[in-house]
Amino acid sequence: MKTREFTINTADLEMHYVNMIEEYIIEDLEIPQDYIESLKIDDDQVNIKLSNTRKYFNDDWYVNLQRVS
């Protein structure tokens, strides 16, 4: 079963500013904003919930997201 919700430890990202983390998620991981249902950034983790669709499961950005989470 494929996951639609991911949690990334911010210490693993070595970024301390919220705006840098959001930029990393959208630009470096290349997650299309259309597929992000919610994005919650706390002091110690980032929670990304993706939209309920099967279209992206084989996309490179999805595979990369699985690797970093």
* The total number of structural domains that make up the chain: 1
Structure tokens at 7: 């949690």
Give the pLDDT confidence score for residue 17 in this predicted structure. Answer: 61
Whether the model clears a pTM of 0.85, i.e. scores above it, the answer is: no
| Distance between CA atoms of residues 42 and 25, nearest Å | 14
pLDDT, averaged per 10 consecutive residues of the chain (69 residues), comes to 80 66 86 92 88 88 90
Range of the domain at 38: 5-68
Structure tokens at 67: 């690797």
Return the closest-CA partner of residue 37 out of 53, 51, 55, 24. 51
- Cα atoms in the Cβ-side hemisphere of radius 13 Å centred on 55: 8
